[in-house]
């Protein structure tokens, strides 16, 4: 239960790109909170990325701007350099995760404890989850596997989000279902994505803002960062 409420909404966005600034303006407008998963060794790097048939900017935010940009939200681990963790040995996994966590903690001035696995496809497994759990300061880590469920989960190191926000129609239908819930036990609506995807036709900025307007400012819902919701 969160501040006496049985429903919670949280957002998560990966890669720490400059489009996060515009996204955060939208979240703030509707009193929503998110967690942003950053690769500390890639901060400040400028590049392009082709996704959903369109090439968009994939410029990482500057290290000196991290604290200011994400103020009021949460910064989290996404590894130092964005490798596919199941392909690495245990020692390298620990280094990729813990050094990123320490660097980000220094940048933001608080103990970073959330994480999202990098890379698409099968980007985690039981071995990786155990390494993260046993050798780092991370308290939970998100996968990219949509559960389409609001139920609590027992495995916090392979935590499945409710929906990937590019699944636009499903996301909206789930939102309407969640809004109508009158639960007797805690329920979580967890949405994830990459802010640069809104520069494609996969989901537009306008569509995302409409969703935020739909899900926001309900008296029976707690709106928090990943840690505020999952570690409650």
Distance of CA 159 to the CA centre of its chain: 11
With respect to residue 144, please indicate whether it lies within any of the assigned structural domains.
Answer: yes
Q: Which residues are paired to 50 by β-bridges?
A: 55
Give the domain range for residue 56: 7-230
With respect to residue 69, please indicate whether it lies within any of the assigned structural domains.
Answer: yes
With respect to residue 181, please indicate whether it lies within any of the assigned structural domains.
Answer: yes
Q: How many domains, in total, are found in the chain? A: 1
Q: Which residues are paired to 67 by β-bridges?
A: none
With respect to residue 28, please indicate whether it lies within any of the assigned structural domains.
Answer: yes
With respect to residue 27, please indicate whether it lies within any of the assigned structural domains.
Answer: yes
With respect to residue 40, please indicate whether it lies within any of the assigned structural domains.
Answer: yes
Note the pLDDT tens digit of each residue in 177-205: 999 999 999 999 999 999 999 999 899 99
Return the CA Rg of the chain: 17
With respect to residue 2, please indicate whether it lies within any of the assigned structural domains.
Answer: no
Note the pLDDT tens digit of each residue in 112-167: 999 999 998 899 999 999 999 999 999 999 999 999 999 999 999 999 999 999 99
Note the pLDDT tens digit of each residue in 89-110: 999 999 999 999 999 999 999 9
With respect to residue 39, please indicate whether it lies within any of the assigned structural domains.
Answer: yes
Q: What is the CATH number of the domain that holds 63?
A: 3.20.20.370
Average pLDDT over residues 225-232: 96
- Give the pLDDT of residue 180: 98
- Give the pLDDT of residue 120: 86
């Amino acid at each position: 239960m969160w501040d006496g409420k049985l429903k919670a909404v949280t957002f998560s966005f990966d890669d720490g790109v400059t489009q996060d600034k515009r996204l955060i303006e939208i979240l703030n407008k509707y009193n929503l909170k998110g967690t942003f998963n950053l690769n500390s060794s890639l901060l400040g790097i400028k590049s392009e990325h082709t996704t959903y048939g369109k090439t968009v900017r994939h410029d990482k935010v500057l290290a000196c701007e991290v604290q200011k940009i994400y103020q009021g939200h949460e910064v989290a681990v996404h590894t130092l350099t964005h490798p596919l963790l199941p392909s690495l040995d245990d020692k390298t996994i620990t280094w990729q995760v813990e050094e990123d966590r320490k660097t980000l903690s220094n940048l933001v001035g608080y103990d970073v404890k959330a994480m999202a696995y990098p890379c698409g496809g099968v980007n985690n497994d039981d071995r990786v989850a155990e390494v993260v759990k046993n050798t780092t300061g991370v308290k939970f880590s998100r996968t990219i596997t949509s559960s389409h469920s609001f139920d609590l989960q027992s495995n916090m190191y392979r935590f499945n989000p409710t929906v990937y926000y590019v699944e636009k129609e499903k996301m909206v239908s789930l939102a309407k279902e969640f809004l109508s819930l009158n639960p007797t036990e805690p329920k979580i609506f967890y949405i994830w994505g990459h802010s640069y995807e809104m520069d494609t036709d996969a989901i537009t900025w306008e569509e995302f803002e409409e969703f935020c307007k739909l899900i926001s400012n309900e008296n029976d819902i707690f709106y928090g960062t990943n840690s505020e919701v999952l570690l409650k």
